[in-house]
A and B are shown apart, each in its own frame.
Chain A
Amino acid sequence: MPFYLEIIVSISLLIGSAFLLIGSYGLVRLPDIYMRLHSPTKASTLGITGILVASMIFQSHLKGFLSIQELLITLFLLITAPVAANMIAKTALHHRAKPLERTQNQELIDVIRDREPPRSPHDPS
């Protein structure tokens, strides 16, 4: 394996694992469940992509033909991550999980749980 490929593979592995590490660290560090949701849905997509890019380059070199199988994993991840996050958020709302004290617009929570439109029409301006 030529040196420059090794460098590229190592760099994308490092970037990927850095993002995954930050994502997991966020799970420990952020205070409430709604905030924790953000770290695995976002930080992990780029993390996994970095590792898959490394795998794609390495496998393509190893096998001698373009191996883009890993794109499928990215695709499935992009489709499933938001759905999972959405379901976890819904579950948390139904369990009446307490949001952080300083969360803004807490009055919306009951409305969201019942899937009603906001009570006083929210004027964004």
Chain B
Amino acid sequence: MRLLPMPSHSLLLFVVWLLLNNSASPGHIVLALFFAITIPWLVADMRDEHPKIRRPWLAVRYTLMVMMDIVTANLEVALLIIGPIKKLKPGFVAIPINIQSDLGITVLASTVSLTPGTVSAEVSKDKAWLYVHALHLDDEAALIDSIKQRYEAPIKEIFGC
């Protein structure tokens, strides 16, 4: 058995433990190390295989881009809420997706929910369609295009699937 079966999870646990306790005292560092080593060791056999992050740098850039988009999404939705309700044209949209892995689809669906004007509602059984509800649907084709290019393409690259 390897010492660190899930190195990234170990790092995450370590950081989260220190943040939870809001301290970097030696005692907490030892405790964090203990958790970072034992928890992955205990659960390593139970988890499903997920694709690994192939392009960590792109993942960081993607995260930053999504953060910026969240800010604009907030402003946009806030304006839509305050503005005249009668002018809103809500609608459902089916977006063809091309990601096989569950993790990739989850990331895409979450991103879509957090970014401008759309909430993901469901994924079709064959994992080929993501159904989205848009608060204000002006141009369906443009929405599909922007989601595919802005979010789906980088996710595919990050996970290499």
Contact = CB atoms under 8 A, between A and B. Distances in A.
Interface stretch (B3-11, B42-50, B81-89, B150-158): B81-89
A29 B16 CA distance: 38
Contacts of B131: 108, 111-112
Contact of B121 (A31, A45, A89, A125): A89
A111 B81 CA distance: 28
Contacts of A82: 109-114, 119-120
A79 B110 contact: yes
A62 to B, nearest CB: 12
Contacts of B145: 124
A118 B161 CA distance: 24
Size class of the contact patch on chain A: 35 or more
B1 interface: no
Interface in A99-113: 99-100, 102-106, 108-109, 111-113
Interface string B116-133: 010111111110110101
Contacts of B77: 26, 38-39, 42-43
Contact of B110 (A25, A47, A83, A117): A83
Contact of B19 (A35, A68, A113, A125): A68
A86 interface: yes
A35 B135 contact: yes
B59 interface: no
